[in-house]
Structure 1
Amino acid sequence: MTQFTPAQVANHLGVAPSSVRRMAATFETVLGPLPRTPTGARLWPLAALRQLEAAHAALAAGAVHSLEAALVTVRDGAELPEVADLPGRSDGLAELLGGLLEEVRALRALTEAQGRELVALRTDLRALPAPAAHPPLAPSSAPGKPARLAASVPVLKVAALVVPRGRGWQPAKYAQAEKMLGEGTELHADERKVNYRTAAGSVMDYRTAEALVKLKVLVPA
């Protein structure tokens, strides 16, 4: 079913889009609601456009005192001046339909041309060589994460048994660190190259180990 947008109706009648909005409100009051797009914009079926055109022509010719009166006349089947009686309107609807047909043809040609371009692009893509395979990244070089100390320094020597205060640690953490320092002369990186183990098997997390290296309590072997 052929339907026209408010802008097309305004252009066809030679009025402003705001006038078409007012006409639409009057039309719906007299003849019922117009169909709408999913976004709520009105659409004018061809039959409704013919009714509006006849009523508008009658109003312009002075045959009625208002658009509502003209639409009531149309609704009741009474005679109204023919649109062809008004200069410049006899072929207006045919021109509008012809313009729509030309737009459809142009859109179809554009779609077909874009389809051919898409097929050509797919052919070109298939002809491209496959990208070279890259070796997998080492576990310690995960993006965004710096390598842990244990990955580059697997053994740390105990250089002091007392941790200098002032780091803001809880007393229990100082005591735990000093206990592990006393469990041997060296700490060795665990199998994941993240934390360290003492000779007694205690695990010192990498943050504590790195802090003690900065304090020179632990030094690389």
Structure 2
Amino acid sequence: MVVLTKRERIKRTATILFAANGIRNTKIEDIANVLGMAKGGFYYYFKSKEELLEEIMDNSVISRKEFLKEVGDLDVSFEKKLKMIISRRLDLKDDRYNLFLFAKIYENGEINLTYDDYMKRDIIFSEFLNNNKENIKEEYRDQIQKIRSILSSALTTLLLFLINQTGIEVTGEESYRKMVEKYLSIDIDKEIEMFYNLFFKEIVKEK
């Protein structure tokens, strides 16, 4: 089991509380109380809730960029690469709480300036598709941005559906772990195949 630093522990706890209760409804005091620390202890690591949220978003951008670069460099079929991308977007486990946060932000429509800025910078998947245009049917090659937006929304909707299928309402870290444990019993490979056939098969050029 990975031992988190205090800074990482704050980010984990805050992310789950942001997702469970909403960003606006989660106060610094709430985060500090769960961690058993004084409010001043929080300010030792972060100047504000906004700075904390920005770091959470930045970490996600960096992680996704590294992942897509690794996938892009693999000597496997374009179909296999796309299925790996779908898998990662549905790969909700204990240490992927950021994914849970983004899904809940989408579900709640809780968009703020920090999240808007994140979405503007989240052009990584568009770049991936543009770099693989030769594998996309010609009639779809000028629709990359639209495709990215549709696929991103559809994947998030599927993730939320699967989360709701666990029947566990997340209110904090303990219930988050229980939800993830139930989530891991889902046949994700089946969901990947379904999503690929519904949303990718039509645009991918046949070999």
Task: Return the TM-score normalized by structure 2.
Answer: 0.20
Higher relative contact order (CA 8 A, sep 6+): 2
Task: Return the TM-score normalized by structure 1.
Answer: 0.19
Structure 1 or 2: larger helix share? 2
Structure 1 or 2: larger strand share? 1
